[in-house]
């Protein structure tokens, strides 16, 4: 990851330390007799705000008292936040994109689990009412909203993140955006690397082809199988033989030098494209000499 990405992840992670000192969630209630509203704060390890007044009002409709003991989550929320902070710092130090993925996924799982846990508590709290309550409305439940607003009798209730919740959400959003940025950057870098590799491969292949063309030696004669390109006889005597390699790397094989010369006379278009002529070494059967290096002995009849 880029240095700026690692710095931003570290800052986002360290910012969540503040969540130990500010509330994470809030529930607000408004009614004609409470125009200024009643606010209950949920911290990482306790409740705060006007929950005592809210308890007094809820008593009349049969809702249980809200107290810290109702939330066993207070025992480990702080630990979970600490783990999330530590994971962010480890990600920043290592610079590994897979750890950034884990950091983002952890934030999403935390958020989903927290909302589900709050919904589960709100459902139980708003539906399991005291049957002997002073005020009873048949079929009425008082489940608070998970997020947003909801009317409960003459009260309007609001539920949503408080300062600490917004800090955690902001850190998670920043991490998610950085992950998208790094994935796009990695994809572009991979494409660039593939283009470079492709060009290098093309250069290597071209160089190899040119080298093979320029440095190509004689093609071995398979005596007893190959036939002379001129007289069509099978090449059998390993002390005699010749071949032509053209500029297009086409090979013509002959049973002796006479056939080679006669073929060139018969096909002048081939002579124009000759690149190399090889002659079999009489004294070293099966081996070749370039026609420019060979010595020819001519015996007159």
Give 151-196 pLDDT, tens digit per residue.
Answer: 887 889 899 999 999 999 999 999 999 999 999 988 888 888 788 8
Give dist(CA 24, CA 18) in Å, integer.
10
Give dist(CA 283, CA 287) in Å, integer.
9
Q: Average of pLDDT values for 34-49?
A: 89
> For residue range 194-219, what is the model confidence (pLDDT) as tens digits?
888 877 777 666 555 555 554 457 88
Specify if 177 maps to a domain.
yes
Is there a single domain that holds both residue 172 and residue 263? no
Specify if 211 maps to a domain.
no
> What mean pLDDT, rounded, does the chain reach?
86
pLDDT cut 90: percent of the chain above it: 36
Is there a single domain that holds both residue 293 and residue 228? yes
Specify if 107 maps to a domain.
yes
Global pTM reads: 0.63
What is residue 180's predicted lDDT score, i.e. its pLDDT? 93
What are the Cα distances from residue 21, in Å, to 16, 60, 118, 123, 274?
10, 33, 21, 28, 90
Last residue of a domain, one of 173, 190, 207: 190
Is there a single domain that holds both residue 241 and residue 162? no
Specify if 212 maps to a domain.
no
Is there a single domain that holds both residue 101 and residue 171? yes
Is there a single domain that holds both residue 178 and residue 234? no
Which position has the higher pLDDT, 220 or 137?
Answer: 220
Is there a single domain that holds both residue 8 and residue 141? yes
Which residue, chain included where needed, has tokens 């053209």?
Answer: 246
Is there a single domain that holds both residue 170 and residue 239? no
Which position has the higher pLDDT, 62 or 78?
Answer: 78
Is there a single domain that holds both residue 20 and residue 138? yes
pLDDT at residue 105 is higher than 50: yes
Instruction: From 191, 119, 197, 198, select the one nearest 159 (Cα to Cα).
Output: 119
**How many domains does one find in the chain?**
2
pLDDT at residue 301 is higher than 70: no
Specify if 208 maps to a domain.
no
Is there a single domain that holds both residue 104 and residue 33? yes
Domain range for residue 270? 218-301
What is residue 215's predicted lDDT score, i.e. its pLDDT? 46
Is there a single domain that holds both residue 300 and residue 168? no
């Amino acid at each position: 990851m880029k240095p700026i990405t690692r710095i931003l992840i570290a800052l986002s992670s360290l910012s969540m330390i503040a969540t130990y000192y500010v509330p994470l969630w809030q529930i607000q209630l408004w009614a004609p007799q409470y125009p200024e509203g009643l606010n209950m704060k949920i911290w990482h390890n306790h409740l705060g705000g006007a929950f005592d007044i809210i308890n007094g009002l809820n008593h009349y409709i049969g809702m249980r008292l809200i107290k810290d003991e109702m939330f066993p989550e207070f025992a480990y929320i702080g630990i979970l936040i600490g783990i999330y902070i530590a994971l962010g710092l480890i990600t920043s130090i290592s610079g590994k994109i897979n750890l950034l993925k884990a950091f983002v996924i952890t934030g999403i799982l935390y958020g989903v689990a927290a909302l589900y846990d709050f919904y589960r508590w709100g459902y139980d709290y708003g539906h399991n009412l005291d049957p002997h309550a002073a005020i009873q409305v048949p079929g009425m439940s008082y489940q608070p909203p998970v997020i947003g607003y909801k009317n409960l009798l003459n009260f309007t209730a609001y539920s949503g993140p408080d300062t600490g919740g917004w800090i955690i959400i902001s850190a998670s959003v920043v991490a998610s955006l950085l992950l998208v940025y790094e994935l796009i950057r990695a994809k572009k870098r991979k494409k660039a690397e593939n283009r470079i590799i492709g060009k290098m491969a093309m250069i290597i292949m071209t160089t190899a082809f040119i080298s093979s063309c320029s440095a190509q030696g004689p093609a071995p004669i398979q005596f007893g199988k190959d036939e002379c390109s001129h007289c069509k006889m099978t090449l059998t005597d390993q002390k005699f033989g010749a071949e032509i390699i053209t500029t297009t790397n086409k090979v013509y094989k002959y049973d002796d030098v006479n056939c080679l010369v006669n073929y060139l006379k018969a096909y002048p278009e081939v002579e124009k494209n000759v690149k190399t002529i090889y002659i079999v070494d009489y004294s070293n059967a099966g081996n070749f000499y370039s026609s420019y290096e060979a010595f020819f002995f001519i015996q007159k009849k």
